[in-house]
Amino acid sequence: MENIKISKNCDAFIYNDLEIYTTNVFLIEKKSKIFLIDTFCGSDSMMPIKEIIKHKNNNKEVIVINTHFHWDHVWGNSSFKENTIIGHEQCGELLDKYWEEQLKKNEKYISGNVEKYLPNVTFKENINFINEGIEIFYSPGHTVDSISIFDHDEKILYAGDNLEKPIIHVENNDIETYIKTFKKYLDYKPKKITASHTLNLSEEDIYQAIEYLNDLKNGKKIEFETEHMRKIHMENCNLIHGIL
Ligand SMILES: [Zn+2]
């Protein structure tokens, strides 16, 4: 795990445990609260972060956010049972429904203890921590329960799995809504955009992702540079158009 600063108040923890991509967990320290975005793969992966929080020794409340219900974003939740864990209302339902299935399929990635622990504060549209400059908002796309975080002080957008390079994973078939989420992202005029599997993104990447979603919807034939991109695109096509 590598720890880098992406802004004056935000650390990114970059995990290399999954073969196909790196996974980022973010720790944002604000005036009176610390926000932790996602909990990766279990108690061991959260240990260094808990240490860092402890050493800050500033008694700030730690608020955990689950960007969506996928296993690689939530398995460390049980390390934060005493804390507020925020997720979309559908995140709790989906996580509950698919907990065992996700665990079975991906058990080789378990890091330490993994215990079922769902978000304990849920919302429908958004939650604003006005004094902290943090807005958490519903942003369906990659999945139906995806949420994003905007730091209004730093103008940083945390997009979860909605954005990813070189290609996005579409795991919910409502493409129109996904495009609407991307347009909403642009309205925030972010100075910096970061996501759970890609650290540095730009507005241009959002425009390209919109174009990709339109092409996907229209069944346009697209050429890709790599086998990985072709594979993900096939999976996206299967979800939208059925097995080809
Ligand atoms: Zn995901």
CATH number at residue 143: 3.60.15.10
The reported pLDDT for the residue numbered 21 is 86
Distance 134 CA to ligand 1 centre (A): 22
Residue 152's CB is within 10 A of a number of other CB atoms, namely 14
CA distance 204 to 33: 32
Q: How many domains does the chain have?
A: 1
Distance 56 CA to ligand 1 centre (A): 30
**From CA 40, how far away is CA 28, in angstroms rounded?**
16
Mean pLDDT by 10 residues, the chain (244 residues): 95 90 96 97 96 91 98 97 97 97 96 96 98 98 98 98 97 97 98 98 98 97 95 96 75
Residue 185 lies in a domain: yes
- Per-residue model confidence (pLDDT) at position 58: 86
Non-local CB neighbours of 114 within 8 Å, separated by 6+ positions: 41, 42, 43, 75, 76, 78, 103
The answer to whether residue 229 is domain-embedded is no
User: In degrees to the nearest 10, what's the CA dihedral of 191, 195, 200, 205?
Assistant: -80
Distance 68 CA to ligand 1 centre (A): 7
Kindly state whether residue 65 falls inside one of the protein's structural domains. Answer: yes
What's the 161 CA to ligand 1 centre distance in angstroms? 5
Residue 131 lies in a domain: yes
CA of 59 to the centre of ligand 1 (A): 32
| Beta strand segments in the chain, E | 2-7, 10-15, 23-29, 33-37, 61-65, 84-88, 121-123, 126-129, 134-138, 147-151, 156-158, 192-194
State the distance from the centre of ligand 1 to the C-alpha of 4, rounded, in angstroms. Answer: 22
Per-residue pLDDT at 243? 65
The answer to the question of residue 159 being in a domain is: yes
The whole domain housing 156 covers 2-206
Which residue's entry shows tokens 């339902």? 93
Question: Does residue 107 form part of some domain?
Answer: yes
Task: Give pLDDT, residue 20.
Answer: 78
* Domain-embedded: residue 141: yes
Examine residue 222 and state whether it is found in any structural domain, yes or no. Answer: no
CA of 57 to the centre of ligand 1 (A): 32
Q: How far, in Å, is the centroid of ligand 1 from the Cα of 169?
A: 8
Give 162 Cα–ligand 1 centroid separation in angstroms: 8
Residue 155's identity, in one-letter code, is K
β-pair type (10-15, 23-29):
antiparallel
